[in-house]
Amino acid sequence: MSFQSFEGGLRMRRLRASESIRRMVRENEVRPEHLILPVFLMDGNDSEPVASMPGVTRLSVPALVEKCRKLLALGVCGIAPFPKTPDDKKSPAGEESANPDCLVCRAIRAVKAAVPEMLIFADIALDPYTTHGHDGILNAAGTDVDNDTTLDALAQMALNNARAGADFVAPSDMMDGRIARIRKALDANGFSRVGILAYSAKYASAFYGPFREAVGSRKKDSGNVTGLTKKTYQLSPANRREAVREALLDEAECADMLMVKPALPYLDILRDVRERSLLPLAAYQVSGEYSQIKAAAQLGFLDYKAVRDESLLAIRRAGADIILTYFAEEYARDFRNA
């Protein structure tokens, strides 16, 4: 068939002729219920803005409860809380992560007591709690993250968050075998109904900078003199097939949902995983993705809402059932008011 001629009456523009037709034949849509809002927590009763993420605020526990009430009213039914742990509670082994009364556990209990319908996806990784900023416990020489020792700490952290009321635990550490270890621990302690959202394809990305400022885990030297980098456990941005292997391993270890992180720079990975797994698939539109859109809009370089919405639609189109995004609340508000 030649697209140079109209023989046979082929005109693609007939299906684009009006807004009503375009809506009727729309293949993908982003609705508030597709979104999870990542939220940053801080101790005390005050809240404070995150300088590198315009419009994002670290919330106190009472402020988080109020935020959840607003989110549910807008149709957003999930949050992913991340703590800014005070420096005096950090340690090389991140013991505060095992504290059943840590900031995140207190926040989960408060939200579930006041807004039980809100789904909570509790991050499972040690980086907010370690002095060196890594996602696990270092070996004695400080030259590497000790995978198997870290698994024990992650399992305990997952149990504490489940006891507090988390609906899902979300391991973001990228240790080998952590999904199986966490699932075993949850089931053995009566939490078989708590799900696992696995950060299956989490890349060693440069787009995480604002997030690390928000949770206070950014360290210029990674807390050691050996040059240890997260590239030893997060995926290389050069690799595509490896991401599918990671996702399928997490599925085999009984993850309930899979995730690709970041989102927009990795739409090909999102599509690859979507085509290989039937599990619900999430994508995390990370802090750097959010902040660059905000910054460009503030400089007048682009139409903020149009680019925001197009970015979310692209992630859905690539295969995401669920999107973790800092745009969730404002997008839902605009969606409801449209």
pLDDT in tens, 34-61: 999 999 999 998 899 999 999 999 999 9
CA distance 211 to 43: 18
**260 confidence band (pLDDT: 50, 70, 90):** very high
CA distance 324 to 338: 22
pLDDT for the residue numbered 309: 98
Q: How far is CA 94 from CA 59, 86, 162, in A?
A: 22, 12, 19
Count the neighbouring beta carbons within 10 Å of the beta carbon of residue 95: 17
Both tokens of residue 11? 């005109």
Q: How confident is the model at residue 221 (pLDDT cuts 50, 70, 90)?
A: very low
Q: Which residue has the higher pLDDT, 6 or 95?
A: 95
pLDDT at 6: 61
**Which residues on adjacent β-strands are paired with residue 120?**
79
Residue corresponding to tokens 């809009």: 297
What average pLDDT does this structure show over 308-326?
98
Instruction: State the Cα–Cα distance between residues 40 and 157, nearest whole angstrom.
Output: 18
Residue 4 has pLDDT above 70, yes or no: no
Percent of the chain at pLDDT > 70 equals 95
Q: What mean pLDDT comes out for the span 85-114?
A: 96
Q: Is 249 exposed, middle or buried (0-12, 13-18, 19+ CB in 10 A)?
A: middle
The yes-or-no verdict on residue 240 having pLDDT over 70 is yes
User: Which of the four pLDDT bands, split at 50, 70 and 90, describes residue 225?
Assistant: very low
Q: Average of pLDDT values for 18-32?
A: 94
Q: b vs e for 13-33, b when ≥16 Cβ sit within 10 Å of the residue's Cβ?
A: eeeeeeeeeeeeeeeeebebe
pLDDT tens profile 93-106: 999 999 999 999 99
Average pLDDT over residues 160-165: 98
3-state SS string for the chain = CCCCCCHHHCCHHHHHCCHHHHHHCCCCCCCHHHEEEEEEECCCCCCEECCCCCCCEEECHHHHHHHHHHHHHHCCCEEEEEECCCHHHCECCCHHHHCCCCHHHHHHHHHHHHCCCCEEEEEECCCCCECCCCCCCECCCCCCECHHHHHHHHHHHHHHHHHHCCCEEEECCCCCCHHHHHHHHHHHCCCCCCEEEEEEEEECCHHHHHHHHHHCCCCCCCCCCCCCCHHHCCECCCCCHHHHHHHHHHHHCCCCEEEEECCHHHHHHHHHHHHHCCCCEEEEECHHHHHHHHHHHHCCCCCHHHHHHHHHHHHHHHCCCEEEECCHHHHHHHHHHC
- Give me the CATH code for the 33-337 domain, please: 3.20.20.70
pLDDT mean over 255-282 = 98
Confidence class for position 215, pLDDT limits 50, 70, 90: confident
Instruction: Report the chain's mean pLDDT, rounded to a whole number.
Output: 94
Q: What percent of the chain has pLDDT over 90?
A: 88
Instruction: Tell me if 36 sits within 8 A of 200, measured CB to CB.
Output: no
Question: Of 256, 265, 272, whose CA–CA distance to 170 is shortest?
Answer: 256
Per-residue pLDDT at 108 exceeds 50 = yes
Kindly list the catalytic residues.
202, 261
Q: What pLDDT is recorded for position 2?
A: 52
Q: pTM higher than 0.85 for the full model? A: yes
